[in-house]
Amino acid sequence: MPINLPHILHQIEEACKASSSNQKLCRLVAVSKEKPIKSIIEAYNFGQRHFGENKIVHLYDKSYSPELIKSCPDIKWHFIGRIQSNKIKKLAGVNNLYMVESVDSMDHAEILNLSWGLNHQIPLNIMIQVNTSGEPRSSTLLHNSVFREEWHQTH
């Protein structure tokens, strides 16, 4: 674990103050993929709270690690990978899931919303990936006008 993590967190805090940004909106998400639980706990003890994983299975397993639950009670997990349809329900079951970055289809958003709502009283933070340029992509992205119409229909 880099010893300069407290320095980096302090720099982020100072940059938020200098820009008059809401400090709660400024955060470092430490990508913990393939890192041992010991390293996550060490970063947590230095003040890091937000951690990201790009594989749902690894995220799920880490979120239920007894050692992490005991040592990092207010850890906030971010899913930062591409969502596979067959793993959305597992994603919704992640302990201390804070944010999904990002959802790229209304089908995935609806399944995630329904799955999350079955077991949670608080809304899930998600980032929606919107194709504003209209360029064809390999993934199914929502065009902004379609997104507005479909989003209003579901909420």
To the nearest whole number, what is the mean pLDDT of the chain? 85
**Domain-wise residue ranges, the chain:** 5-154
Fold of the domain spanning 5-154: TIM Barrel (3.20.20)
CA 66 – CA 37 distance, rounded (Å): 10
The model carries a pTM of 0.83
pLDDT at 26: 82
pLDDT at 3: 65
Least confident stretch, 54-68, 83-97, 130-144: 130-144
Q: Is the pLDDT of residue 29 over 60?
A: yes
What residue spans of 72-143 are helical by DSSP H?
A: 88-92, 106-119
Are 33 and 10 within 8 A, CB to CB? no
